[in-house]
């Protein structure tokens, strides 16, 4: 579990973000707040009516008593109706705010650097976007609704008491605000607990998701008990935090209510004495008893709500760290140069890259490496001209996939330059990526039909286009063999499809995208040799129509016809040339790889 950062957002940060996100709903929310203030008026209604009724009784005006009760009842129903409308308006605005914050967090999570997204568990990002954002809505609601409500009730009760008898009102109003000061230190503690609890909730979610998403492998390994124990351990830790939170919340409540009760006790003694001496009317005494709770009660609540606000601010730090984290470069509107077909293909000049470790608060740990051997890939030069087929080969871990991801604009070089059809991905990653068909070894299948999965890069493609792409990628025969053909629903991550079927769907996606640069990272590894040969024949046809192709290959036999083979070793380019040229170098890595693979390749042909 990542350690929570000690840095919490400020209340002003939360306020600015939520208020801005509320956008055009502000008016409805403000109207809702005003209308729901009628709840405070309802609370004030009975002391007011008690006073009127007692005065009327003292004056023996019994007709007035009836009138007051009837009018009071009518006002009560009117205020209740107003309150309900206000509640609806507020809730509707807050639902909109929740949606907006969630969408913003999800959008920012999608723009995190790929290195971060790969090193974090997806459940952590889901928790931030789907759950932690709601805490910010909670803060706005606590401040503007519950706190403002209590403040309004306090103000009305205080004004009424002052008007009634300022001599007893003033001492009470002078000491009561002390209630707010009580529990200040404890409230600060709640902020840290809020932050720790949110982190631990994410850890529990991660455990659950890990176990449930990977049932097959968990069962195969017999790791059910291990998973259950891990979950129980994290959950126990979370329960301890919940218990600590409840303890400190109770501590805030205890300090505020104790002080409040003390104040009420002392002032009641004074008022009681005044009444005994006959210096106060019976009606005033009754009203005082009703009002004193309506003055101290709201102050107690404000103290406790403030504690909750602190706790939620601590917890919402997870969203702020996501929003403030480094993001992928995006073009400033109107500044990105348009890709030019004349500059087609892809070039890499002196590209070096290292995977950075990311830690909370989502900032990369440490600067770029100084020593040469710390780079994952270094000084890579590559030229994929239009109408060429380049192969990238080398031992496992030599950096082939990293080069493929750099070429696809998914990772960004720390030094050197990449141009995709003339565009620098560091200046506008999205535009550069839109020119590349990237097919990884284990392509992701989305929820939906096979047709949706092929058309994912080109929504709105016609059925004919989808079928033509599937035919080109050798996927059509197996798709029509499925019970529902192209309408077969793919289960989570395509678990019901074989590795080779998923690869062919991914290749069909790439065909349909019609992009000029193709990066295939062992994209045919799960196919039989014959299907792979047919796919390569398709790639050669694409090459003939001006596509630039980079093919990362494990099976060397697949790429003997490449225009250039680039051989990687320990992050650098060790050799380059055609198959024949490379074989001529008897001491070269390629020759060694070829010889060690030759018997297997012969067998697979």
Does residue number 176 form part of the binding site for ligand ADP (CB under 6 A)? no
Contact, 494 vs 532, CB < 8 A? no
Output 194 or 394, the one with its CB closest to ligand ADP.
Answer: 394
Output 151 or 570, the one with its CB closest to ligand ADP.
Answer: 570
Does residue number 547 form part of the binding site for ligand ADP (CB under 6 A)? no
Residues 85 to 124 in contact with ligand ADP, rule: CB under 6 A? 115, 118
- The token duo for 568 is 């990687």
Could you say which of 397, 448, 477, 561 contacts ligand ADP (CB under 6 A)? 397
Output 81 or 397, the one with its CB closest to ligand ADP.
Answer: 397
- The token duo for 226 is 């291990």
Does residue number 413 form part of the binding site for ligand ADP (CB under 6 A)? no
Does residue number 502 form part of the binding site for ligand ADP (CB under 6 A)? no
Smallest distance, Å, CB 543 to ligand ADP? 23
Smallest distance, Å, CB 236 to ligand ADP? 31
Could you say which of 176, 386, 388, 402 contacts ligand ADP (CB under 6 A)? 402
Give the single-character DSSP code of 315: H
Q: Segment near ligand ADP (CB under 6 A), from 400-408, 488-496, 504-512, 586-594?
A: 400-408
User: Whole-angstrom Cα distance, residue 524 to residue 504?
Assistant: 8
User: Whole-angstrom Cα distance, residue 192 to residue 311?
Assistant: 7
Output 51 or 441, the one with its CB closest to ligand ADP.
Answer: 441
How far from 436 is each of 1, 433, 441, 569, CA to CA, in Å?
Answer: 36, 5, 16, 25
Nearest CA among 294, 282, 327 for reference residue 51: 282
Does residue number 561 form part of the binding site for ligand ADP (CB under 6 A)? no
Output 260 or 376, the one with its CB closest to ligand ADP.
Answer: 376
Does residue number 398 form part of the binding site for ligand ADP (CB under 6 A)? yes
**Sequence-separated (6 or more) residues with CB below 8 Å from residue 13:** 320
Q: Segment near ligand ADP (CB under 6 A), from 172-180, 223-231, 394-402, 466-474?
A: 394-402
Helix ranges restricted to H, 408-526: 429-433, 450-454, 463-472, 476-480, 499-513
Nearest CA among 445, 455, 531, 457 for reference residue 496: 445
Which residue in this structure is represented by tokens 């058309």?
Answer: 455
Output 310 or 402, the one with its CB closest to ligand ADP.
Answer: 402
Contact, 358 vs 364, CB < 8 A? yes
Residue 155, number of CB atoms within 10 A of its CB: 13
Does residue number 296 form part of the binding site for ligand ADP (CB under 6 A)? no
Smallest distance, Å, CB 233 to ligand ADP? 27
Helix ranges restricted to H, 214-223: 215-221
Does residue number 396 form part of the binding site for ligand ADP (CB under 6 A)? yes
User: Whole-angstrom Cα distance, residue 545 to residue 465?
Assistant: 18
Smallest distance, Å, CB 396 to ligand ADP? 4
End-to-end CA distance of the chain: 48
Output 197 or 401, the one with its CB closest to ligand ADP.
Answer: 401
Binding track, positions 318-357, relative to ligand ADP; x by CB under 6 A: -------------------------------------x--
Contact, 330 vs 428, CB < 8 A? yes
Output 339 or 413, the one with its CB closest to ligand ADP.
Answer: 413
Helix ranges restricted to H, 325-368: none
Q: Segment near ligand ADP (CB under 6 A), from 72-80, 339-347, 391-399, 448-456?
A: 391-399
Could you say which of 141, 260, 376, 524 contacts ligand ADP (CB under 6 A)? 376
Could you say which of 344, 399, 440, 494 contacts ligand ADP (CB under 6 A)? 399
Nearest CA among 358, 314, 326 for reference residue 6: 314
**Which residues of this protein are in contact with ligand ADP, per CB under 6 A?**
115, 118, 355, 376, 394, 396-402
């Amino acid at each position: 579990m990542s350690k929570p950062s000690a840095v919490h957002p400020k209340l002003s940060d939360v306020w600015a973000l939520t208020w801005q996100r509320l956008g055009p709903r502000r008016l409805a929310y403000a109207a809702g707040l005003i209308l729901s203030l009628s709840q405070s008026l309802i609370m004030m209604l009975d002391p007011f009516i008690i006073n009127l009724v007692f005065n009327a009784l003292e004056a023996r005006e019994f007709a007035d008593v009836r009138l007051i009760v009837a009018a009071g009842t009518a006002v009560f129903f009117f205020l209740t109706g107003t309150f309900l409308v206000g509640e609806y308006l507020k809730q509707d605005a807050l639902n909109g705010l929740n949606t907006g914050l969630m969408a913003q967090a999800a959008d920012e999570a999608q723009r995190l650097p790929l290195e971060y997204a790969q090193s974090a568990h997806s459940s952590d990002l889901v928790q931030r976007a789907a759950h932690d954002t709601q805490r910010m809505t909670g803060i706005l609601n606590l401040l503007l609704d519950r706190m403002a409500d209590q403040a309004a009730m306090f103000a009305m009760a205080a004004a009424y008491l002052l008007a009634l008898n300022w001599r007893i009102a003033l001492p009470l109003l002078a000491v009561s605000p002390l209630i707010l000061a009580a529990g200040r230190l404890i409230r600060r503690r709640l902020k840290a607990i809020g932050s720790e609890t949110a982190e631990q909730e994410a850890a529990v979610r991660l455990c659950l998701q890990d176990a449930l998403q990977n049932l097959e492998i968990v069962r195969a390994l017999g790791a059910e008990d291990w998973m259950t124990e891990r979950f129980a351990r994290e959950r126990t830790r979370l329960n301890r935090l919940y218990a600590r939170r409840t303890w400190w919340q109770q501590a805030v409540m205890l300090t505020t209510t104790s002080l409040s009760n003390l104040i009420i006790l002392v002032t009641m003694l004074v008022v009681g004495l005044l009444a005994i001496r006959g210096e106060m009317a019976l009606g005033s005494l009754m009203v005082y008893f009703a009002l004193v709770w309506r003055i101290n009660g709201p102050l107690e609540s404000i103290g406790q709500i403030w504690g909750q606000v602190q706790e939620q601010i601590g917890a919402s730090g997870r969203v702020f760290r996501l929003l403030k984290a480094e993001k992928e470069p995006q073009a400033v509107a109107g500044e990105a140069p348009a890709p030019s077909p004349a500059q087609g293909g892809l070039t890499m000049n002196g590209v070096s890259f290292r995977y950075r470790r990311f830690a909370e608060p989502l900032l990369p740990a440490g600067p770029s490496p100084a020593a040469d051997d710390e780079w994952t890939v270094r000084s890579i030069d590559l030229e994929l001209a239009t109408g060429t087929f380049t192969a990238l080969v080398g031992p496992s871990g030599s950096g082939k996939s990293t080069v493929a991801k750099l070429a696809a604009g998914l990772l960004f070089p720390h030094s050197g330059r990449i141009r995709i059809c003339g565009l620098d991905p560091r200046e506008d990653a999205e535009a550069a990526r839109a020119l590349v068909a990237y097919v990884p070894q284990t392509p992701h299948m989305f929820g939906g039909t096979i047709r949706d999965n092929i058309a994912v890069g080109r929504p709105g493609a016609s059925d004919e286009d989808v079928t033509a792409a599937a035919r080109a990628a050798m996927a059509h025969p197996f798709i029509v063999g499925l019970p529902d053909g192209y309408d077969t629903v793919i289960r989570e991550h395509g678990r019901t499809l074989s590795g080779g079927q998923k690869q062919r769907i991914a290749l069909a996606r790439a065909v349909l995208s019609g992009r000029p640069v193709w990066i295939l990272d062992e994209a045919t590894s799960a196919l039989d040799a014959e299907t792979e040969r047919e796919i390569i024949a398709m790639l050669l046809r694409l090459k003939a129509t001006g596509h630039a192709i980079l093919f990362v290959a494990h099976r060397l036999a697949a790429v003997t016809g490449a225009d250039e083979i680039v051989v990687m070793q320990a992050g650098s380019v060790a050799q380059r040339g055609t198959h024949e040229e490379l074989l001529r170098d008897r001491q070269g890595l390629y020759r060694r790889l070829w010889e060690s693979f030759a018997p297997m390749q012969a067998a697979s042909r």
